[in-house]
Amino acid sequence: MSGARPTIGAAIRGALLTGGPAGKAFAARKVARDWRLGRLDFDLDRPDAAVMPERPEWPDNLQLLPPAQMPRRGKGGSERGRLALWHALAHIEFVAIDLALDMAGRFGGARGEEFVSDFLGIAADEAMHFALLDRKLARLGSHYGALPAHEGLWQAAQDTAHDPAARLAIVPMVLEARGLDVTPATLERVKAHGDSHGARILERILDDEIRHVAVGTKHFLKICGERNKPPQETWQSFVRTHFSGRLKPPFNDSARHAAGLSLDFYAALAS
């Protein structure tokens, strides 16, 4: 007698609880592929579905520091500065794998299979981004975990674990949207240093992140419609409540607009 088919809830939980960098990236891509190919049963709407962990597993050797204690990278072209840049980007993409997995696993039961498919696709993208950046670190003679990393990135997930709209407002529509703003300047600096390989990585990430913000915005607007709430005012309220930083210009208005995040959303909160 054959056993029960594997479920999407258990698969997502397993990926979240994979701590090794390469292992987590592989697990995220496998979950997304197995789901796309119909190999996993949808169980997130059942009482016995796997519970998502409060925190994912990360590498044991990763030193996490509060934002205020992070060493300044600077904008110079020194070897140390370049290494710190690529390590910081790798950490952002590594945590982004878990943010997308948790989004699918924690809220997929209420939001449905399209929601799960969208965010597992994003998790696979983030895993690919991390793999590219990890290989970049290896080319520089380093590795992920060689430098301290920002401990605050998961805080947004914990602060918004109660509401998919709040999570969408903060993670795709603030944190990932910020990536749209800062990546072009980083890309220009990398090109100025003659690093065509690094520039291609950043161009790929920027293209994908526009789509990720668009997915988050799409689902946020859908929830606002279901709740009969005005999207812009609702988003601004979530940002004031759950985002401790500031929305700082300059903004990449064209990329944000392409992602469905119009100026009407964020102009009133810009500092």
What is the CATH number for 244?
Answer: 1.20.1260.10
172 in Cβ contact with 218 (< 8 Å): no
Residue 187 lies in a domain: yes
In a domain, 180, yes or no: yes
Inter-residue contact 79 to 137 (CB < 8 Å): no
d(CA 243, CA 248): 13
Structure tokens at 132: 């590219």
Which pLDDT score is estimated for 255? 96
Q: Is residue 50 part of a domain?
A: no
pLDDT in tens, the chain (271 residues): 346 789 999 999 999 999 999 999 999 999 999 999 999 999 999 999 999 999 999 999 999 988 778 877 655 568 888 999 999 999 999 999 999 999 999 999 999 999 999 999 999 999 999 999 999 999 999 999 999 998 888 999 999 999 999 999 999 999 999 999 999 999 999 999 999 999 999 999 999 999 999 999 999 999 999 999 999 999 999 999 999 878 988 999 999 999 999 999 998 898 6
Query: From CA 57, how far away is CA 98, in angstroms rounded?
Result: 9
The answer as to whether 48 is a domain residue is no
Give me the pLDDT at residue 75, please: 55
Contact 43, 49 (CB under 8 A): yes
Instruction: Give the pLDDT score at 36.
Output: 97
The Cα–Cα gap between 50 and 36 comes to 19
**Residue 6 within a domain:** no
Residue 164 domain-assigned? yes
At residue 72, the pLDDT reads 73
Q: Helix 196-227 crosses helix 231-242 at what angle (to 10 degrees)?
A: 110
Query: Which pLDDT belongs to residue 1?
Result: 39
Q: How many domains does the chain have?
A: 1
Tell me whether residue 35 is in a domain. no
Round to whole Å and give the CA distance between 45 and 61.
36
Name the amino acid, one letter, at 177. A
Residue 158 belongs to domain spanning = 79-269
Q: What does pTM read for this prediction? A: 0.95
Q: What is the pLDDT of residue 74?
A: 59
Whether 55 is covered by a domain: the verdict is no
